[in-house]
Amino acid sequence: MSAQPRPRRVVVAGGGSAGWMAAAAIARTMGRTVSVTLVESDAIGTIGVGESTIPPLITFNRLLGINEATFMRATQATFKLGILFDDWKEKGSRYFHSFGLTGTDHWSAGFQHFWLHGRTRGHDAPYDDYCLELAAAMQSRFAHLPGDAVNYAYQLDSTLYARFLREMAEGDGATRIEGRIARVDLDGERGDIAALVLEDGTRVEGDLFLDCTGFRALLIEGALHAGFDNWTHWLPCDAAIAVQTPNVRAPVPYTRAMAHDAGWQWRIPLQHRTGNGIVYCSRYLSQDAALERLLGNVEGEPLTKPNVIRFTTGARRRQWHRNCVAIGLSGGFMEPLESTSLHLIQRAIIRLIRLFPHGEISARDVAEFNDQQMTDMEQIRDFLILHYKVTERGDSAFWRFCRDMAVPETLSHKIELFRETGRVFRRNEELFAENSWVQVMMGQGITPRSYHPIAAKLRDDELDKMLTGLRDTVAHSVDSMPEHAAYVARYCGAARPAAA
């Protein structure tokens, strides 16, 4: 009887959301074909502010067989239907980027074309009235509807999520080693990573190493020098401060992003507390002034000390290099404006599992992984830049810089195409759907100059029936939903944490 081949040794460097999402997914998916070892130190903190998510996390959890109510109870989670943007177009303005569809598309043209034509025929209802998720969010209502009719995500405690996944990963055979990484040993002949050496001398050998060490990027950059593309000339914010407060009102099913004269602030309500933070450009606002502004705009007394985070927006040039794959912040950073941090982690993990090597690592697999990762990040980058570039604000040096800066051609083309024709095209499984681009571009002040001629095909009575019917359906569905906080309490209510 021939001996079974030794399981491929996967070593995860670092814990937090990235490390434990990777360990849990690989241990559960790959089973006995791999051994998973995660190295982390309790002495090293995690960023821990990835509280707002987007809908693909639902798919990730389902792939791992996670019960939604159990997960939400464990992470103090609430539901999220989108993001409310205050003061981005101009001071006093407001718009909502929802996760749902607006109206009904035709295969030849999105709903915005029919709405734009309707405006020329006397229909003055706002675009927002045709979106179920948006209307429900503004009334603070939520329910699961038949046929997964509601598109949603979660607002959660990412530290608790990592803890939840650790328990699952260890149950599936993953091993955790406590310790700080002192050095990374390379194979002298191949140049690959051979082992992690801890401060106590423990040597952790592996075949495939996942760098989940956050901004430090100890493996992918510190040891392998993969390179980094800096995007701060397009996304100039380079610092954030986060603090938690108790809930002073019922949690709403959306995140708030409130622009200020040098960046923006977030407010994310969980079941029993709220995550708050300020993102800013240090060229235009000092840390002391940013902290004063943040603390002056929170609701309730802070529960935690302010957590100051410095960052550089950009992407690692090679996120899979030799036998090392960067997962999470070690692979690059996108400011949290559209809640993409956990999404980029899960995309990298799922992509790695799909390209998981059987034997020797394939250079073609590595190239494909890197190309897809960079495409994801560039598309998200463009969507984030859109929020800053398309603005009517000129009240501060920061906003004048953003309004006047040159942007990538990929984004410039998308903006001008929509401005001229109302059209949006997605490419290569792009994350943000057509409706996301439409909501943000119109919310930031762009009204298309024309629309698809097929919209004019409808007679006035047909157009009236279509638009009125869509609005009535949305209104009826929202009226049938319970209040969000009551639904959360019934579906996945968590015990209130003990006072510190």
Give the DSSP per-residue string, 440-459.
HHHHTT---S---GGGGGS-
Instruction: Report pLDDT for 461.
Output: 96
How far apart are the C-alpha atoms of 351 and 477, rounded to whole Å?
A: 37
Query: How do strand 208-211 and strand 8-13 relate by DSSP bridges?
Result: parallel
Phi and psi for 449 in degrees, rounded to 5?
A: -80, -20
How far apart are the C-alpha atoms of 138 and 154, rounded to whole Å?
A: 16
What's 288's DSSP letter? H
Beta-bridged to residue 83, according to DSSP, are: 97, 255
Phi and psi for 485 in degrees, rounded to 5?
A: -60, -40
> Tokens representing 260?
């200020």
Distances (CA, A) of 475 to 113, 430, 490: 22, 30, 24
> Tokens representing 392?
């009517």
How far apart are the C-alpha atoms of 123 and 120, rounded to whole Å?
A: 7
Instruction: Report pLDDT for 425.
Output: 93
How far apart are the C-alpha atoms of 416 and 412, rounded to whole Å?
A: 6
Instruction: Report pLDDT for 1.
Output: 43
> Tokens representing 105?
């598309």
How far apart are the C-alpha atoms of 346 and 59, rounded to whole Å?
A: 10
Distances (CA, A) of 156 to 13, 59, 107, 318: 24, 16, 36, 30
> Tokens representing 242?
């986060």
Instruction: Report pLDDT for 49.
Output: 61
- For every one of its 500 residues, what pLDDT tens digit does the chain have, with 9 covering 90 and above? 445 566 799 999 999 999 999 999 999 999 999 999 999 998 776 655 659 999 999 999 999 999 999 999 999 999 999 999 999 999 999 999 999 999 998 899 999 999 999 999 999 999 999 999 999 999 999 999 999 999 999 999 999 999 999 999 999 999 999 999 999 999 988 999 999 999 999 999 999 999 999 999 999 999 999 999 999 999 999 999 999 999 999 999 999 999 999 999 999 999 999 999 999 999 999 999 999 999 999 999 999 999 999 999 999 999 999 999 999 999 999 999 999 999 999 999 999 999 999 989 999 999 999 999 999 999 999 999 999 999 999 999 999 999 999 999 999 999 999 999 999 998 878 999 999 999 999 999 999 999 999 999 999 999 999 999 999 999 999 999 999 999 999 999 998 876 54
In CATH, which superfamily holds the domain spanning 8-51+157-229+313-361? FAD/NAD(P)-binding domain (3.50.50.60)
SS3 labels along 98-140: ECCCECCCECCECHHHHHHHHHHCCCCCCHHHHEHHHHHHHCC
Phi and psi for 302 in degrees, rounded to 5?
A: -55, 140
Q: Is 16 helix (H, G, I), strand (E, B) or coil?
A: helix
- Chain mean position to CA 321: 24
How far apart are the C-alpha atoms of 302 and 243, rounded to whole Å?
A: 7
Instruction: Report pLDDT for 67.
Output: 98
CB 240 within 8 A of CB 262: no
Instruction: Report pLDDT for 498.
Output: 63
Instruction: Report pLDDT for 36.
Output: 98
> Tokens representing 430?
């792009």
For residue 323, what are the contacts with CB-CB under 8 A and spacing of at least 6?
A: 192, 193, 207, 208, 209, 361
Q: Which residues are catalytic?
A: 80
Instruction: Report pLDDT for 488.
Output: 98
pTM of the model: 0.95
Phi and psi for 382 in degrees, rounded to 5?
A: -60, -40
Instruction: Report pLDDT for 97.
Output: 98
Instruction: Report pLDDT for 48.
Output: 54
Instruction: Report pLDDT for 2.
Output: 47
Which amino acid appears at position 352 of this protein? L
- Any idea where the domains of the chain sit in the sequence? 8-51+157-229+313-361, 103-131+379-479
